[in-house]
Structure 1
Amino acid sequence: MNFSDYLRQEAEPIFQSILDHPFVRGIAKGDVPKEAVAHYVKADFEYLNAFMNIYGIAISKCDKREDMAFFTENIDFVLNSEIHPHHNLCEYIGTPYEQLQGYPLPPSADHYIKHMKHHAHEGNIGEILAALLPCPWTYLEIGQRIMKEIQPDENHPFYAWISFYADGAIADTTNQLRHRLDLWAETASEHEKQTMYEAFMKSCHLEWRFWEMAYTQESWSLTPEHTVKS
């Protein structure tokens, strides 16, 4: 069993909790509270900015140009392609995308970003890969599961979101991250593998927390936001 397969096996309960989360099931049914969707987009816009920053930190730690090219391509993907699911969500709630940008991060999203940046700044490439991998991997499985179960057509309110994450582009990103992590693990010490394991598992848990944060409209004031900025 390679390292990424082992990590996925260990994280099975968390993956299942994510797949069964009411926000995710709401996407499948085409019915999510609009306030929760707005809360999600606000946080995810900032999260994806941080994701690109972490790819940039990874580039600074690369020795090979092919590795630099890999992380650069992924920055381009997040910057120019992963905005499409956000647009779908914004259309669903009837709010311009630009009006959901520039908000403070809720606690769980803030925690998630700081967790990834810690491994990016303090760790090696293996740690960075392990911390980043759960994001595309969980979204890939969400998209594939909904596509298989619901088989949505273009009339589904979240068809663009579902088809994006069930598409080959996310699978390619996930598989490339897994492959690079597996290669890194082959020569890693037991201590390094344990650190990568912990980075991966914490990111998986924080992926669940991100959905929960959006669904409950988590905030620092402990008072949910009940309005969509218009």
Structure 2
Amino acid sequence: MINEMKKRSLIFVDKIYQDDFIQNMIAGNLSKEAVCHYLKADAIYLEKFTDIYAQLFARIPDKASKNFFLSQIDFIFNHEVGAHHILAEAAGRDYHDIIEDKAWYPSSDHYIKHMYYQLYQDNPSYILAAMLPCPWIYQQVAQKALASGKIADENPFKAWFEFYAGDGATSCLPTYFDLLKRYSKQLPEENKKEVIRVFLESCQHERNFFQMAVDQEEWPEEVRNV
């Protein structure tokens, strides 16, 4: 099942890599507006991601898994914010000023609610599959971008790619896949296909998340003005 998930995810890696957000980062000219839109949304997304880790901490009993979830919460709070600061610097703005008015846009709203829905399934495989594309897609896209040789040393986004391709951001992946493998063994084949579908849906959500920043996605005025 794990190999099938990885194989099926590669089409999303290729599409995200070719989309405007990543290509503009590779060229060093992603707009300030796109950067700020992304940061406002991702600040909320990562907060919710850590909240889900906290709930998994309470649900999964073994100590090793609990330590893993704690380490991931620490990584998001104390290390991944560094990647946000890289983008803020590229946009020429203070990070905390950018995210002061955090925004819950339609695509990020859909992604977050997708994860929360899977959190309340009976088997942890569902939520693990929903969360896994976040570190997995970032690793794959960042490594692909760096391997392209197209990112100049002076590119203000180079450090962002290096962060997500590096061990600090990717060391969680073996444990993620091990946990998913362990809990999915308890499922019948029909449910394993559902878990694969959940994983692939999150891969598409990752693509949408980047694209919404380029598109400057907003709720319609009828929704905003309440």
Do both share a fold (TM > 0.5)?
yes
SS at match of 2:148: helix
CA distance in 1: counterparts of 2:16 and 2:84, whole angstroms: 19
Partner AA of 2:149 in structure 1: I
Q: CA deviation at 1:27?
A: 1.2
Partner AA of 2:8 in structure 1: E
CA distance in 1: counterparts of 2:130 and 2:205, whole angstroms: 10
Q: Find the counterpart in structure 2 of residue 27 from structure 1.
A: 25
Partner AA of 1:31 in structure 2: N
CA distance in 1: counterparts of 2:82 and 2:122, whole angstroms: 32
CA distance in 2: counterparts of 1:170 and 1:179, whole angstroms: 17
Q: CA deviation at 1:156?
A: 1.9
Offset from partner CA, 1:28-49 (integer Å, 9 cap, x none): 1111011111100100111111
CA distance in 1: counterparts of 2:48 and 2:160, whole angstroms: 21
Q: Find the counterpart in structure 1 of residue 121 from structure 2.
A: 122
Q: CA deviation at 1:60?
A: 1.5
Q: Find the counterpart in structure 2 of residue 228 from structure 1.
A: none
CA distance in 2: counterparts of 1:36 and 1:144, whole angstroms: 22
Contact kept, 8 Å, 2:130 with 2:198, in 1: the verdict is yes
Q: CA deviation at 1:58?
A: 1.0
Q: CA deviation at 1:123?
A: 4.1
Task: Give me the TM-score of the superposition, normalised by structure 1.
Answer: 0.90
Q: CA deviation at 1:131?
A: 0.4
Partner AA of 1:203 in structure 2: S
Match of 2:56 among 54, 58, 70: 58
Partner AA of 2:108 in structure 1: A
Q: How many aligned positions are there? A: 221
Match of 1:79 among 74, 77, 83: 77
Offset from partner CA, 1:169-196 (integer Å, 9 cap, x none): 2221122211221222233222431231
1:206 and 2:226 aligned: no
Runs of at least 4 residues off by over 3 Å? 151-154
Q: Find the counterpart in structure 2 of residue 7 from structure 1.
A: 5
Q: Find the counterpart in structure 1 of residue 35 from structure 2.
A: 37
Deviates more, 1:181-190 or 1:90-99: 181-190
Runs (5+) with no aligned partner, structure 2: 222-226
Aligned-residue RMSD, C-alpha: 1.7
CA distance in 2: counterparts of 1:142 and 1:197, whole angstroms: 20
Deviates more, 1:58-67 or 1:145-154: 145-154
Q: Find the counterpart in structure 2 of residue 177 from structure 1.
A: 176
